Amino acid sequence: MKKLYAPWRDSYAGATDKTKEENIEAHECIFCEFIQENNDEQNFILQRYKHCFVILNKYPYNAGHLMVLPLEHTKNLASLGAQARHEIIDVIDHCIRSTQKILKAEGLNIGLNIGRASGAGIPSHMHWHILPRWNGDTNFLPALADVKVVSFDLKEIYDLLKPEFKDHTVS
């Protein structure tokens, strides 16, 4: 397989820190650190809600790759209360509508990976991926060279989406 250097993924892909382990505590979790830091723009947090928050994936597969995370540090869906689960689904729906409206997404992949074996990069703090898709958003590189090229500015995407989340509340 030929390689295309993607420097923005180096710190994540090569990380051996404890954050990527299955059973870390909240005080060691990068997502929990983002919640505590209260520096939403730098951490690309689009909105905080009572039970969850929306963040741009810093290592996206496509432009506008969002994640919805519970504020509670948990890796198990069953540990979330009914109100949290309801809010998360409402927020995911808002993410869908926002990416369709602002980014003109023609389709979306939405998923929840539970556990390292499922592909979860940070398995100790569950999160839903909302991945905008467009017809033709892939090219010959993934098929021929197993390479995905993402060419957009994360800050620009954040600035485009932020107004959609500013006044959004969950009913």
**What is the block-wise mean pLDDT of the chain (171 residues), using blocks of 10 residues?**
54 51 73 93 97 94 94 93 97 98 95 84 91 80 60 89 92 75
8 Å CB contact between 48 and 28: no
CA angle 90, 96, 102 (to 5 degrees): 130
* CATH of segment(s) 18-165: 3.30.428.10
HSE, side-chain direction, 13 A CA sphere, residue 15: 14
For residue 132, the model assigns a pLDDT of: 95
For residue 59, the model assigns a pLDDT of: 84
Q: What is the pTM of this model?
A: 0.81
For residue 137, the model assigns a pLDDT of: 76
For residue 117, the model assigns a pLDDT of: 82
80: which DSSP letter?
S
Which sequence spans correspond to the domains of the chain?
18-165
Measured torsion, CA atoms of residues 80, 129, 154, 84, in degrees rounded to the nearest 10: -20
For residue 144, the model assigns a pLDDT of: 57
For residue 103, the model assigns a pLDDT of: 95
8 Å CB contact between 12 and 59: yes
**What contacts 19, CB < 8 A, 6 or more positions away?**
28, 29, 30, 122, 124
For residue 150, the model assigns a pLDDT of: 64
8 Å CB contact between 69 and 126: yes
